[in-house]
Amino acid sequence: MKLEGKKILSFVHHEFEDLELWYPIHRLREEGAIVELAGEKANETYIGKYGVPAEADFSFGDINPAEYDALLVPGGWAPDKLRRFPEVIAIVQHMEENKKPIGQICHAGWVLISAKVLEGKKVTSTPGIRDDMENAGATWIDEPVVVDGHLVSSRRPPDLPDYMREFIKVFE
């Protein structure tokens, strides 16, 4: 198991894209990682766009990002909610400053835009937020997955296998 002993945080909020949250979590757990969920409220159940639930282990304010080796930001409509929390922004900025792996897919780029960490980065996302990514100073590339150092970005659910393969490689 390639990620044995690694601790990874994933954000969650209502209307996350079900596959973009759960596929990475399961894939990383298969590799031995501990993956924990942080939401607005600890122990609250959040419902995905297609009805799949996810319960937050912790609230955003409970999180000490120094205790985590990486961060995942799922897509869907949740990123538009997530980026409004100062604690979420602070966690993303901590991960960026410490060059810890950050995975973002689909609309998750909105969170990184609000954290102001995309200047000069190469990224991808759903084409719907391409302009937002470019306006934040990123170079947008239409590929299933784009890796720029510790930042791994992907477009949409069909790209999940490529996304997770590259995200796991960042730990090597």
Decide: 122 and 95 in contact? Cβ < 8 Å.
Answer: no
SS3 for 73? strand
Task: Decide if 150 is catalytic.
Answer: no
Phi, psi of 35 (to 5 degrees): -120, 125
Catalytic residue among 14, 26, 94, 107: 107
SS3 for 110? helix
Catalytic residue among 13, 94, 106, 150: 106
* Ramachandran sector of residue 82 (left: φ over 0; alpha: ψ -120 to 50; beta: rest): alpha
Distance CA 57, CA 43 (A): 6
Phi, psi of 153 (to 5 degrees): -125, 155
Task: Decide if 106 is catalytic.
Answer: yes
Cα–Cα distance list, 65 to 32, 108, 156 (Å): 20, 18, 26
Residues annotated as part of the active site: 106-107
